[in-house]
Structure 1
Amino acid sequence: MKVKQPEPFMFEAGDRAVLLLHGFTGHSADVRMLGRFLHSKGYTCYAPIYRGHGKSPEELIDVTAEEWWEDVVEAYQTLKDKGYTKIAVAGLSLGGVLGLRLACNQPLQGVITMCSPMYFDNEEQLTIGFRQFAKEYKQLERKNEEIIKQEVDQLLEASKGLFQQIAASIERVKENVDMLYTPTFVIQATNDQMINPDSANYIYENVESEKKKIKFYDNGTHAITFSNAKDEMHEDIYTFLESLEW
C-alpha cells in the first residue's frame, strides 16, 4: 500500500508572515491547525517540510540534520522572495530549535518555541519516538508484525549517526541562545513525555531579549499542537504576535 505523502502549505493573508516549523519525524500537519488559526487572524503562514520528512523512515535517516537547517533557511528566503519583510517563526520540538537558530542568524519579529529540547540527556526518548513513527508507517504499508520488528530494529541501528547529528545541532543552539535578542515566547507542556521540560526554563532564562514570555500548559503533551491545550495556546500565540513591533 502506498502511503500518501504530505505537502508544505502556504496560507497567504496580510503582510505579516509566520514561518511554521514541524518536529522530528513530523511534517506540515504538525502545525496546520495553528496555521489555519493564524491565517484567520490575518497572518500569512508558511510551513515547509524538511528533506526526508513526510516520507518513509528509510528516507528520513538518509539525510542530515544540517540539510534540515538548509531547508529552514530556504523557507525563510521563500517568504522574502514573495515580498514579506516582517516575519516571525514558530516551531514545534526540533522545529523550535531550528527557529531559535534562524532567529540568531536572520532578522525576525519574534520567535515561538513549543516543547523544544535544549538537553539531549535522554537519547532513548527520541529513539522511542522514532521507533513509534517507523512502526506506524510500516503498519500503514500492511506489513506483518515480524517483518515490521525486523525492519524497525535495522532502522534504529542505521539511525545512530543521525541522532548524533541532532544532538550536535541542539547543543549548538543551546550554546548560542544567549546571543538572541529577538522577542521570544517559550511554550511547554508540563507533562512532556518526550523531552526534559526544563528545556523551556533554559531558553527563557538565557535569551537576551527584553521581551520574553514563558508559559507551561498542564493539559498539554509533547505534540502540543494536537493536544487539549491547543486552543488556549493558539490564543496565547496570537496575543504574543499582536504585541510585537511589526
Structure 2
Amino acid sequence: MPKLIHPKPMFLKGSAQAVLLLHSYTSTYRDVKPLAVFLNQHQYTCYSFSYAGHGLMMDEFLKFNPNDWWQEVIQAYNFFIEQGYREIAVIGISLGALLSLKLAESFPISACISMSAPQTRSVEDLFQRLSKYAEYLQQFETDQQVLNIAQLYIKAQPQLEQFENFVVSTMQNLNKIHAPTATLFGKLDEALYEQSAHYIFEQISSSEKMIKAYPHSGHLMTLGQDQSILFKDILNFLNLHLSNA
C-alpha cells in the first residue's frame, strides 16, 4: 500500500529576483511546480513548499489551520530575506492566493499575483473540498473503513471556521496592498471567483494592477489549458515590476 510522505520544499536558484509560490487547499506544491520550473528557466529564483499537514492523512491534516500556514509563509519570506534577496514576488492559487494577498498586505513585496482567490468561503463550501480530499485519502487507509462524513464534519470544524475567518480578515485589509498586483481567474471556474477577482482588483490600493480572465481555465489555472499563455503573462508581469532577471 502506498505511503504518504510530506513533500520536501522546492528551491530553484536563479538570479537575485526571488519568487515565492503558494499552492491550494488540500493539495501540495505540485499545483505550482510547473510554473516554478518555467520561471526558473527564465532566471528567477523560486521557492515553494507544502503547508503543514498537506499531503498527509486526515488526522494529521486537521491538526493545522490557516494561521499555521500563514506563519510558514512568513518563514519562507524571511528565508529569502536572510539569503540576501531584496526583490521578492509572491504568487498563489486559491488558498495560496489568499496567503499571497495577506503577505502583500503585511510585508514589502515587489509584485503579487493572485489566481482563483475566493472573496468568501463558507464552512460548508470548504467542507465540500475537504470531503473530496478525504475520499482521495481512503486509498491509503490500512483498515479501509467507510468514510464517516458526519464525523469528519465535526472534527474539521475548528480548521474550517478558522479558514472562513482567514478569508474575511484578508479581504478586509486589501486596501493595504500597494505592490503591483495581478488578479487572474479562469472562466470555467465557479462564478464566485470571477466576482472575487473584480472585488480584489477594485479594493487594492496598487497604482499598477491588472485583471485578466482565462477562457479555457478552471480553478487550478496553473495546470489548465491556458497554461502557456498564463505562464507568459506571469513572466511578463514579473519582468515589468522586478529588475531584469
Q: TM-score, normalised by structure 1?
A: 0.93
Secondary structure in structure 1 of the residue aligned to 2:184: strand
Alpha-carbon distance in 2 for matches of 1:82, 1:43: 14
Per-residue deviation, residues 12-51 of structure 1 (Å, max 9, x unmatched): 0111000001111111111100000000011000002221
Q: Report how many aligned residue pairs link the two structures.
A: 242
Cα distance in 2 for partners of 1:143, 1:192 equals 36
Residue in 1 that maps onto 2:132: 132
Q: Secondary structure at the match of 1:149?
A: coil
2:173 match: secondary structure: helix
Q: Note closer, same or farther for the CA distance 1:20–1:177 as it changes in structure 2 (3 Å cut).
A: same
Number of the residue aligned with 2:42: 41
Is the contact made by 1:186 and 1:200 (CA closer than 8 Å) also made in structure 2?
Answer: yes
Amino acid at match of 1:243: L
Quote the Cα distance in structure 2 between the aligned partners of 1:86 and 1:217: 28
Residues 226, 140 of structure 1: alpha-carbon distance in 2 compared, 3 angstrom cutoff: farther
Q: CA deviation at 1:183?
A: 0.3
1:236 & 1:114 partners in 2: Cα distance? 12
Q: Deviations over 1:38-88 (max 9, x none)?
A: 000110000022211121122111112211110000010111111111100
Partner deviation per Cα, 1:85-127 (whole Å, 9 max, x = no partner) = 110000010111111111111111000001011112x443322
Assess if the C-alpha contact under 8 Å between 1:224 and 1:230 holds in 2. yes
Q: Does the aligned pair in 2 maintain the 1:48–1:72 contact within 8 Å?
A: no
| Residues in 2 aligned to 1:59 and 1:201: alpha-carbon distance in whole angstroms | 35
Structure 1 residues 226 and 131: alpha-carbon distance in aligned structure 2, compared to 1, 3 A threshold: same
Structure 2 contact 6–54 (Cα < 8 Å) conserved: no
Q: CA deviation at 1:153?
A: 4.0
Amino acid at match of 1:98: L
Partner of 1:55: 56
- Tell me the CA shift for residue 179 of structure 1: 1.8
What amino acid does structure 1 have at the position aligned with 2:24? G
Structure 1, 124-133 or 208-217: larger mean CA deviation: 124-133
User: Unaligned regions of 5+ residues in structure 1, if any?
Assistant: none
CA distance in 1, matches of 2:206, 2:53: 33
Aligned to 1:181: 178
* d(CA) in 1 for partners of 2:194, 2:140: 31
| CA-CA distance at 1:142 after TM superposition | 6.5
The one-letter code sitting in structure 1 at the alignment partner of 2:95 is L
Alignment of 1:79-118 (within 5 A): 79-118=80-119
Letter in 1 for 2:238: L
Q: Runs of 5+ in structure 2 lacking a partner?
A: none
- After TM superposition, where is structure 1 displaced by more than 6 Å over at least 4 residues in a row? none
Deviations along 1:185-236, one digit per CA (max 9) or x if unpaired, are 0010112149543110111111111100001111111111111122211011
For normalisation by structure 2, the TM-score amounts to 0.93
